[in-house]
């Protein structure tokens, strides 16, 4: 296999690099490289810049606003954005619900929602997990009962990422209790401003408000917000999860983080010499880099199948497993590199660090919070244990 880029691809890389250099706001890239939290406006500003350029949704078909890029061009775009410190486009709209609407939605749903997603007029969140229904998603209990031209929705979703910013949520709901559990599930689009919807924050160990509980109390949802057929939502759910799992790996972003880790290892001292000269630590770095390169090739293979119009298959589970394990490995190595300087992970300590009041390198304070945060990546999007079962069944035939 030839891994060299063509002249056209190299020219495309330069085009993307020049655009990002000229248009990415410095305050946003500064937050990314310093591992600071981004506000909603930071994401929306960058997404609107991409939208004006026509680069908001590279994976969409051209007729709906996609770019028509090849898998290699999409890879190069993501790599250049990540290297420059651009925030990732929020996946819930562009990369998760939009492909479902394109594949299963009505013409009216496509004409209404897709332009709003492109323009960042809607901020979406995902309503899948419930208390007691995570990896065993088919056990979900949130009910949607038909009442004329509406569904009346009651129940709870949990671990809902960034729901505090969202005005729309796509939900799996139970519309029937008959037959197999999967056959009674439907896929609904719900306006978060509807009466009866309430959002309650879940504060994580690092003091951040990233996830939430979302409650639904007799929420009326138009039947026209049903995607696909009633009782066929499990098909939509599997389709969406394959796209989510492919995106979780975030290879380009973690190439940037690995480069940051290498810089740290050159600056920090161990036994009077740069940490990168320590043979044990250097071996760990080398192993992480080799696995990241292997993951990159798998990612390109998934992109190629996506261009052919096929949803990512079981190889998406490989991306999910190895991607999340590598993310955890790299955050662990960052903690190991800075040692005790990573201890002040409380938000107030990080703020002091950024004011120059704390001891140690400026980049050290946020690292413990990131270490704790990335413990969850092997669970969401379908736990890695579930992904191994998928690989065993669909690839190995066990």
User: Using one digit for the tens of pLDDT, what is the confidence trace for 250-272?
Assistant: 889 999 999 999 999 999 988 88
Query: Is pLDDT of 347 > 70?
Result: no
Q: So what's the pLDDT on residue 21?
A: 97
- Give per-residue pLDDT as tens, 289-318: 999 999 988 887 776 665 555 556 677 788
- Residue 244 annotated among the catalytic residues of the structure: yes
Domains of the chain: 7-89 (no CATH), 122-232 (2.40.110.10), 249-394 (1.20.140.10)
Q: So what's the pLDDT on residue 65?
A: 96
- Indicate the DSSP class of residue 394: H
From 80, 210, 244, 296, active-site residue: 244
Query: Is pLDDT of 87 > 50?
Result: yes
Question: Structure tokens of 76?
Answer: 């190069």
For the chain, what is the mean pLDDT? 89
If pLDDT is split at 50, 70 and 90, which confidence band does 190 have? very high
Are 76 and 9 in contact by the 8 Å Cβ rule? The answer is yes
Helix (H, G, I), strand (E, B) or coil at 166: coil
Closest CA to 222 of 268, 190, 186, 244: 190
By CB atoms closer than 10 A (0-12, 13-18, 19+), residue 382 is buried
The larger pLDDT score, comparing residue 280 to residue 316, is at: 280
Query: Is pLDDT of 23 > 50?
Result: yes
Are 364 and 290 in contact by the 8 Å Cβ rule? The answer is no
| Reported pTM | 0.86
What value does the mean pLDDT take over residues 8-17?
Answer: 96
- H-helix segments, the chain: 7-23, 26-33, 40-53, 71-84, 91, 98-104, 107-118, 233-248, 251-267, 279-307, 315-338, 347-354, 367-373, 384-394
Looking at the DSSP bridge assignments, the partners of residue 69 are none
Q: So what's the pLDDT on residue 353?
A: 54
Instruction: Tell whether the torsion through CA atoms of 66, 253, 101 and 211 is positive or negative.
Output: negative
By CB atoms closer than 10 A (0-12, 13-18, 19+), residue 257 is buried
What value does the mean pLDDT take over residues 367-373?
Answer: 88
Q: Percent of the chain, pLDDT > 90?
A: 64
What value does the mean pLDDT take over residues 260-287?
Answer: 93
What value does the mean pLDDT take over residues 322-337?
Answer: 94
Closest CA to 146 of 178, 97, 186, 113: 186
């Amino acid at each position: 296999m030839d891994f060299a880029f063509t002249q056209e691809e190299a020219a495309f890389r330069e085009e993307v690099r020049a655009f990002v250099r000229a248009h990415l706001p410095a305050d946003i890239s500064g937050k990314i490289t310093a591992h600071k939290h981004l506000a909603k406006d930071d994401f929306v500003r960058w997404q609107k810049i991409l939208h004006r350029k026509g680069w908001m949704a590279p994976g969409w078909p051209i007729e709906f606003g996609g770019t028509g890029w090849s898998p290699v061009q999409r890879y190069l775009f993501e790599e250049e954005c990540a290297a420059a410190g651009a925030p990732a486009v929020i996946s819930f709209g562009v990369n998760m619900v939009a492909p479902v609407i394109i594949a299963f939605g009505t013409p009216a749903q496509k004409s209404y929602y897709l332009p709003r997603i492109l323009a960042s007029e809607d901020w979406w969140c995902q309503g899948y997990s419930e208390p007691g229904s995570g990896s065993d998603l088919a056990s979900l209990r949130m009910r949607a009962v038909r009442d004329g031209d509406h569904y009346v929705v009651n129940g709870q979703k949990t671990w809902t990422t960034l729901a505090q910013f969202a005005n729309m949520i796509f939900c799996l709901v139970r519309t029937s209790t008959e037959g197999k559990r999967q056959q009674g599930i439907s896929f609904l689009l719900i306006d978060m401003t509807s009466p009866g919807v309430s959002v309650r924050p879940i504060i994580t160990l690092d003091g951040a408000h990233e996830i939430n509980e979302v409650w639904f109390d007799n929420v009326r949802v138009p039947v026209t917000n049903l995607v696909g057929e009633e009782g066929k939502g499990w098909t939509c759910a599997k389709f969406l999860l394959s796209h989510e799992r492919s995106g979780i790996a975030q290879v380009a972003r973690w190439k940037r983080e690995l480069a940051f880790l290498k810089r740290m290892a050159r600056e920090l001292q161990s036994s009077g010499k740069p940490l990168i000269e320590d043979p044990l630590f250097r071996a760990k770095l080398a192993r992480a880099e080799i696995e990241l390169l292997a993951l990159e090739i798998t990612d390109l293979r998934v992109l190629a199948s996506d261009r052919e119009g096929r949803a990512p298959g079981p190889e998406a589970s490989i991306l999910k497993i190895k991607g999340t394990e590598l993310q955890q490995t790299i955050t662990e190595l960052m903690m190991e590199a800075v040692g005790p300087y990573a201890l002040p992970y409380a938000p107030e300590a990080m703020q002091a660090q950024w004011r120059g009041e704390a001891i140690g390198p400026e980049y050290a304070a946020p690292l413990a919070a990131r270490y704790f945060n990335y413990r969850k990546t092997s669970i969401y999007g379908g736990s890695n244990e579930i992904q191994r079962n998928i690989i065993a069944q669909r690839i190995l035939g066990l």
